[in-house]
């Protein structure tokens, strides 16, 4: 709630649901790569939960009367980059969390390298 007192910054300028979009993209990528029934059920559930979760969160917040939340929702967008393209927000170099970005790439590299270990033997290398 205290974040609403500050200007919108970082990933929230791209989308107000960055985690949900990350899960959605992860699941969609795995659905494209795996067409078996188990994968469709497993990753399809993530797609549905992420997508409808974003809609549900926005709907619940729209019903609230807190003017700070209403202003936040008017400035930001659910769909990535819409608020930036429409001119409601501007992305500045200071908005990038460089430590987080580097850590994310490092974690991605480790998970990519260890994919066969965490996925039951499906190697990407």
SS3 74: helix
Domain limits, the chain: 2-91, 94-125
Mean pLDDT by 10 residues, the chain (125 residues): 75 95 96 92 97 95 84 93 95 93 95 84 67
pTM (2 d.p.): 0.85
What is the chain's Cα-based Rg? Answer: 17
Q: What is the pLDDT of residue 118?
A: 79
pLDDT at 115: 86
**How far, in Å, CA of 101 to CA of 104, rounded?**
5
């Amino acid at each position: 709630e205290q974040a609403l007192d500050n200007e919108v910054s970082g990933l929230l300028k791209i989308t107000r649901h960055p985690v949900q979009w990350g899960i959605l993209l992860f699941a969609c990528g795995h659905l494209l790569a795996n067409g078996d029934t188990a994968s469709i059920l497993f990753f399809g559930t993530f797609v549905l939960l992420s997508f409808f979760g974003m809609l549900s969160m926005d709907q619940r917040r729209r019903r609230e009367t807190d003017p700070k939340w209403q202003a936040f929702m008017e400035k930001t967008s659910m769909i990535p980059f819409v608020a930036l393209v429409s001119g409601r927000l501007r992305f500045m170099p200071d908005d990038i969390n460089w430590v987080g970005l580097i850590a994310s790439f490092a974690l991605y590299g480790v998970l990519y390298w260890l994919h066969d270990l965490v996925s039951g033997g499906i190697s990407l290398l």
